[in-house]
Amino acid sequence: MESRWYPKKGRVIFHVDMNSFYASVEAAFDPSLKGKPLAIAGNPEERRGIVVTSSYEARKYGVKTTMPVGEARRLCPDLLVMRPNFERYRMASKEIFKILADVTSLIQPVSIDEGYMDITACEDQGSPPVIAERIQQRIADELDLPCSIGIAPNKFLAKMASDMKKPMGITILRKRDLRHKLWPLPIEEMYGVGSKTAEKLRKMEIETIGHLADHPVLDLKQVLGINGERLQNRANGIDDRHVDPDAVHEFKSIGTSTTLPEDTTEDAEIQAVLRRLSNKVEARMKNKKVLARNVQLMIRYYDRKTVTRSRQLQEFVHTSEDLFQTAMQLFDEHWNQQPVRLLGVTASDLAEKSEVTQQLDLFNYQKYASKEKLYKTIDDLTEKYGSNPFRKLSNPNENQVTTSFQKDFIDDFKK
């Protein structure tokens, strides 16, 4: 009987997506929060703190992710606002993926609260809906957390399916279901279509996913490049990407950002923030044993206008000082003198440290050699005391919550 669910050619993919994850973890930890409008936000004491996520009770009032805390409280006067506890979320995530690993080893985490599973070889465990129900129930019973699961023949359709019923939904989306389940949806609801892409598509009179599926591909490529063809394929249910358990290690970039307590134009404050962000990026690069040849700066202004500027470097870098200096140069060159709300620093064009040979010429040899003893001393002290002692002295807010979240740990469940 189960064989009808498992095609001889093709795959059965799950997308497991936790519902309102941070808020749900807090409610599981403190049951008195259940049923109440709750928002998790960086700097909740500050009017300009940003909502990271919110419970479904809060969402009914219009509270949304990235919304300033002040605005969220106006919409929902009874809103409870808490700071994120990332260590708590990390431990919950680890336990969730352990439960998934009891079903199959073909798991691809994509963030702290979602991941893909390939259960094509799991016919002996029951039908896909039965397996999904079992996973959902275990997560609810053992961790007191809700999740939604999409079941489909590929990753894109599984992702779309998991969004169709929340919270605690299980949705099957087959290719024969596209015409009545997927195609009527507004184009903005398609995974992979951001606001700017949606705006371009609407100018082409593409209002729904079905319109995209039927549109002449040459027109799409003319406006969106190769991404136009890729999106049309997805709209038609075509996606040949495999569930890759090792994809978590393929870091294209490492970055972090933070929303400032107040919009500012103060040089000293901006420098302090960029230095703190550079320190965090350096720590994560060191943990991953990678070097970078590109540094990107993000600036979001008081009016939410956002610009990103990057610089390709002649040499690989790995220290916070190099990251900071490049970020400051980019800021000095591109700041429009308007108040700044958010700053971000990202290192990209990464390479493993062990695979990179620094080509030292007569001029840069002296620079690296002069710093080598300092780097070694700092590393020795860090190993002895558990963290960089100089950084603690110069950056008392080193552990300040930021609006981004690391993905470095999302394969911890394997350990």
Residues pairing with 53 in the sheet:
40
What is the Cα–Cα distance from 27 to 21, expressed in whole angstroms? 10
SS3 307: strand
Domain with CATH 3.30.70.270 in the chain: 1-173
pLDDT for the residue numbered 395: 42
Cis? peptide before 167, omega within 30° of 0:
yes
Q: At what angle do helices 195-203 and 217-224 cross, to 10 degrees?
A: 130
Domain with CATH 1.10.150.20 in the chain: 179-235
260 φ, ψ (degrees, to nearest 5): -70, 150
Distances (CA, A) of 330 to 259, 323, 324, 347, 411: 19, 11, 10, 13, 34
Q: What is the CATH number of domain 179-235?
A: 1.10.150.20
Q: Does 45 qualify as catalytic in the annotation?
A: no
Q: Are strands 38-41 and 290-301 parallel, antiparallel or unpaired?
A: unpaired
CATH top class, domain 251-414? alpha beta
SS3 250: coil
pLDDT for the residue numbered 355: 57
Domain with CATH 3.30.1490.100 in the chain: 251-414
pLDDT for the residue numbered 102: 96
What is the Cα–Cα distance from 84 to 2, expressed in whole angstroms? 43
Which is catalytic among the residues 46, 114, 229, 321? 114
CATH 3.30.70.270 fits 1-173, yes or no: yes
Nearest to 26 by CA among 17, 13, 35, 15: 35
Known binding residues for Mg(2+) are: 17, 113
SS3 315: strand
- Give, in degrees to the nearest 5, the angle at Cα 216 between 215 and 218: 135
pLDDT for the residue numbered 374: 54
Position 327: which residue type? A
Write out the chain's pLDDT in tens, 415 residues.
Answer: 556 777 778 899 999 999 999 999 999 999 999 999 999 987 666 556 788 899 999 999 999 988 889 999 999 999 999 998 988 999 999 999 999 999 999 999 988 899 999 999 999 999 999 999 999 999 999 999 999 999 999 999 999 999 999 999 999 999 999 999 999 999 999 998 988 899 999 999 999 999 999 999 999 999 999 889 999 999 999 999 999 988 766 667 899 999 998 999 999 999 999 999 999 999 988 888 888 889 999 999 998 899 999 998 878 888 999 999 999 999 999 999 999 999 999 998 887 776 554 433 434 444 444 455 555 555 555 544 444 444 433 343 444 444 444 455 666 777 6
Known binding residues are: 17, 113
346 φ, ψ (degrees, to nearest 5): -135, 135
